[in-house]
Amino acid sequence: EVQLVQSGGGLVQPGGSLRLSCAASGLTFSNYWMHWVRQAPGKGLVWVSRIYNDGSISTYADSVRGRFTISRDNAKNTLYLQMDSLRVDDTAVYYCAKEDLGGNSELGIWGQGTLVTVS
C-alpha cells in the first residue's frame, strides 16, 4: 500500500522556523514529483510547492518563495519542507502529495496532514 506519513508540525512564534517531513512507502519514491499543499483553518486548499523527482527543480507559490524550501532525500524516501520566517498567516494544515504519472499533474496520494500554528 502506498503511504505518505507526515511529521514535524507544531506551534511556533512569528519569525521562527519549522521543518516538515513526509515519509513515503510502498512506491519507488524517486520516480515521482512531490508537492506541498496547505489549508488554513476553515478555508480551501492552496498549493505551496513542487519538486521534481530528482530534486533538480523546485517551484513555489509567491506567498512562500524565499521563506520556504522544498527538498527530498530519495535514499530515505522522504520529502521535506523547511519553513523559515514564519508568519501568522502561514498557520494551516500542511499536506504532502504525490503527483501521479498520468501527465495531468494530478495529486493521487496525500499524507495525513500536519498542523502548523504560528502564534
Partner 1 sequence: DIQMTQSPSSLSASVGDRVIITCRAGQPIGSYLNWYQQKPGNAPKLLIYAASDLQPGVPSRFSGSGSGTDFTLIIASLRPEDFATYYCQQSSSTPLTFGGGTRVEIK
Binding site for partner 1 (CB under 8 A): 35, 37, 44-47, 50, 59, 61-62, 95, 100, 102-108, 110-113
Which of 66/103 has CB closer to partner 1? 103
In angstroms, the CA 80 to CA 89 distance is: 20
Which of 9/111 has CB closer to partner 1? 111
Q: How far is the CB of 13 from partner 1 (least distance, A)?
A: 26
Q: How many CB atoms lie within 10 A of CB 51?
A: 24
Q: How far is the CB of 99 from partner 1 (least distance, A)?
A: 9
SS3 90: helix
Which of 66/102 has CB closer to partner 1? 102
CA dihedral 60, 3, 100, 81 (to 10 degrees): 10
Q: How far is the CB of 82 from partner 1 (least distance, A)?
A: 19
Q: How far is the CB of 14 from partner 1 (least distance, A)?
A: 24
Q: Which residues of 89-116 are buried (b: 16+ CB within 10 A; e: fewer)?
A: ebbbbbbbbbbeeeeeeebebebeebeb
